[in-house]
Amino acid sequence: MNGITYAGLLFMISSGFTLIFGVMRVINMSHGAFYILGAYIAYTLQKQTGNWLIAIIIGGITVGITAYFVRLLVSRVKGALPQTVLTLGIAMMIGDLCLYIWGGLPITVGEPVFTETPVALLGSTYPTFRFFVLALAIVTGSVMWYVLQRTQLGRILRAGTDNRSMTSALGINIDRIFYLVFILTGFITGLSGAVGGTYIAFGPGSDFTILTYALVVVIMGGMGSVAGSALGALIVGVVDSFGRAYVHEVAIFLLMGTLIIVLAFRPRGLLGREE
Amino acid sequence: MIRERAIRFSLVMVIFVIAITVPLWVPLYYVQLLDMSLSLGLTAMSFILLAGFCGMISFAQMAFYAMAAYVIGIGTMDVGWPVWALLPLAVAAAAFLSALFGAIAIRAKGVYFLMMTLALSQLFYGVGLEWESVTHGWNGIAGISRPEVFGFSLILTTPRYYMALFITALCYLVLRRIIRSPFGLALQGIRDNPTKMAALGFNVYLYRLFAIIISGAFAGVGGILGVYSTGVVSPHTNDLSAIVKVVLAALIGGVTRLEGGIVGAVITVFLISFTSQYTSRYWMVVGAVFMLVMLFLPNGVLGIKLKKPSSL
C-alpha cells in the first residue's frame, strides 16, 4: 500500500518531466529544484496562514511562474544538449537560493486538517493523507490523459512529440506551446512538491534525489510517454518501498537491477517508441 | 606554419616551467588547490574524450571517479591491502563500472545517453549513501592514509602535487595518443556519421563501448589522485555538485580540446575557492557562471583563442 501511494507521488513528479522531454527533447535538470521550491513555498505559507490548500496551490503557481523564466533562458541557447546542460546551472541556483532562505534542516509541510484522522484498513490504521496523495495523482493523471487525448492542445502536443518540425510547418506556434508546457509542468511539479513535502521530509539535496527518481521512472516507462511514466512510477514505487521494507541497505541495488533488466529487454523503456 | 609551431613550443615550455616551479613561489594553499585541479582536470579530460571526440555527453564520470576512490578508501582503511595492489584494482574497478554503465547507456544517443548516465551515476550515489556496512554511508571514509613515493610521503602537499602533475601529464599524453591513433580517428568518424562508419565495417557499438571504458579508467585515475588529495571519499564525491564541477571545467575550457579540461579545472577550482572566501553562496555563483558559459561561451575559453589564427 505504501508502494502504491508513493507511486502516485512519483507519477505526479515525473509526468511533467516526461512531458517536457516529449515535446522539447530537453531534460529539465531543474525539475527537482521546481519540486523543492514548491515544497518550501507551501511550507512557509502553511505556517503563516494555516491553510494547507491555499499553500499548495500558491506553491504550484509560483513554480509555474519560475518555469516561465527558466524557459525564457533556455530559449536563448540552441540545441537540446546545451539546453539540458543550461537547466543544470539553473537548478544549482534555485537549490542554493532555497538553502539561503530556508536553511539546511530537513522539514515537512504541516498536514491539512481534513486528513488528521487515520482510516482503518484491513485491521490496521493508515494515514488518510496518503490516500489523498493517491487520489490527487489519479485525478492529475486523468486530467492529463483527457487533455492529451481529447483536446486540440493535446493533439498539438502529441503531434509535437512525434514530429516537431512538421507540426510547426503546419502553422502551429510551437514556441508558444513550449512555454505553455513549461508553465504547466512547473505548476504540476510545484504542486507535487507541496504535496510531497507534506508526505516525506525534504531539505537541501532533496532536489537531486527527486530528479533521480524522476529520471529512473521516465527511463523505465519510456521517455516522452505519460502513460509510460505512470507505469514506471508504479514499478519504481512498489520496488523501492518493498526494498526499503525488506532489504534495507541494498534497496538501491534492487531499483538499479530492475532498471537494468527493463532496459535489457526494452532499450527505449516499457512504453517508449523507437526514434 | 613554422612560426606557429615555435609559438606553440614556447607556450608549452612556459607552461611546463610554471607547472614545475609553482610550489616555490606561491603559498602552500594554492599548491593544494592546483593539486585538486589536476584530479578534476584529469576527470574533465575523460569527459572531453567522450563529449568532444565521441559525441557522448556522459554524466557518469564522477561515478567512475568515486568508484576508484572507494576502492582506495575501503582497501586502505578497512581491508588493509598494500598500495601497489590497490592502485590497479581501483582503475580496474572504475573501468568495470564504466563497462557496465556503458553497456546499458550506449544504445541511447544524444540527450538520451546523458539522461541514462545521469540516472546511473545518481543510483551509484544512492549505493554510496545507503550501503552503510561497506561504504560507511553519509560520512564516507575520511583520513585515508597516503603512501610514500621515493621516500616522500604523499601526505605532504608539495610531493603530492608533483606526483599528480606527473600522472596527469602522462595521462594527457596517452589520451592525446589515443585520439590521434586510428582508433581515435574512427571514434571521431563515428561521432560525425555513425551510419557511414557502420557501413564501412566499423563495429560502432564496440568502438563506443571501448571509448567509455577508456574514459572510465582515466576518470578512475583522477579518482585516485582526488582521494589522495583530500583523504576523503563519501557519497558527495559523486553528488550532482561534483558532476557539475567536472562538466563546468570541461565547458569553461572547451570540449573540443583535451587541454580544455585542465585549463577549465584550474579556473573552476580557483573560482570556487575565491568565491567561498567572500560568500557562502558560492554555488549560486557557480550556477551563474555555468549559465553564462552556456549562453555566451559555448566553445569554452580555448575556443576563443583558437578562433583568432583562422580569421587572420
Does residue B24 fall inside a structural domain?
A: no
Q: Which pLDDT score, from 0 to 100, does residue B211 have?
A: 92
Taking contacts as CB-CB distances below 8 angstroms, the residues of chain B near A218 are 115
Q: Is B241 on the interface with A (CB under 8 A)?
A: yes
| pLDDT at position B307 | 42
The pLDDT value given to residue B308: 41
CA distance B130 to chain A (A): 5
Distance separating alpha carbons of residues B169 and A103, to the nearest angstrom: 42
- pLDDT tens sequence across A176-217: 888 888 888 889 888 888 888 887 888 887 888 888 888 888
Q: Which of A82-86, A270-274, B36-40, B198-202 has the lowest mean pLDDT?
A: A270-274
Confidence of residue A237 (pLDDT cuts 50, 70, 90): confident
- Alpha carbon distance, N-terminus to C-terminus of chain B: 13
Instruction: Report the gap between the CA of B263 and the closest CA in chain A (Å).
Output: 20
- Report CB contact under 8 Å: A249, B133: yes
**Residue numbers in B near A220 (CB within 8 A):** none
CB contacts < 8 A (A, B)? 117
Q: What DSSP designation does A225 have?
A: -
Interface probe for B, chosen from A75, A92, A98, A259 (most Cβ of B below 10 Å), is A92
Contacts of B183 (CB under 8 A, 6+ apart): B207, B210
Q: How confident is the model at residue B219 (pLDDT cuts 50, 70, 90)?
A: very high
Lowest mean pLDDT among A110-124, A238-252, B257-271: A110-124
For B93-112, write each residue's pLDDT tens digit. Answer: 999 999 998 888 887 777 77
Tens digit of pLDDT for each residue in B206-216? 888 999 999 99
Indicate the number of domains in chain B.
Answer: 1
Selecting from A96, A100, A223 the residue whose C-beta is nearest the C-beta of B287 gives A96
Read off the pTM: 0.84
Reduced to 3 states (helix: H, G, I; strand: E, B; else coil), residue A120 is strand
Instruction: Specify the pLDDT at position A274.
Output: 60
Return the pLDDT at A121: 65
Quick check: is B265 in a domain? no
Q: Does residue B218 sit within a domain?
A: yes
**DSSP-assigned beta bridge partners for residue A126:** A119
Residues of chain B with Cβ-Cβ distance to A223 below 8 Å are 112, 115
Say whether A88 and B247 touch across the interface (CB within 8 A): yes
Residue B220 to residue B211: CA distance in whole angstroms: 14
Its ipTM equals 0.78
Inform me whether the pLDDT recorded for B27 exceeds 90. Answer: no
Task: List B152's β-bridge partners, or say none.
Answer: B149
Q: If you average pLDDT over every residue of chain B, what do you get? A: 83
For residue B89, tell me if it sits in a domain: yes
Query: pLDDT at residue B303 above 70?
Result: no
Query: What percentage of chain B's residues is helix, strand, coil (to nearest 5)?
Result: 80, 0, 15
Residue A123 pLDDT grade (very low, low, confident, very high; cuts 50, 70, 90) = low
pLDDT, tens digit, 9 for 90 and up, residues A94-119: 888 888 888 778 877 877 766 666 66
| Structural domain containing residue B66 | 31-237
Give tens-digit pLDDT for A79-90.
Answer: 777 788 888 888
Grid cell, residue B132, equals: 552503510
Residue B45 lies in a domain: yes
Among B residues 169-188, those touching chain A with beta carbons less than 8 Å apart:
none
Residue A168: is its pLDDT beyond 90? Answer: no
Instruction: Tell whether B206 is covered by a domain.
Output: yes
Residue B271 belongs to a domain: no
Asked if A76's CB is within 8 angstroms of B122's CB, the reply is no
When the pLDDT of each residue in chain A is averaged and rounded to a whole number, the result is: 81
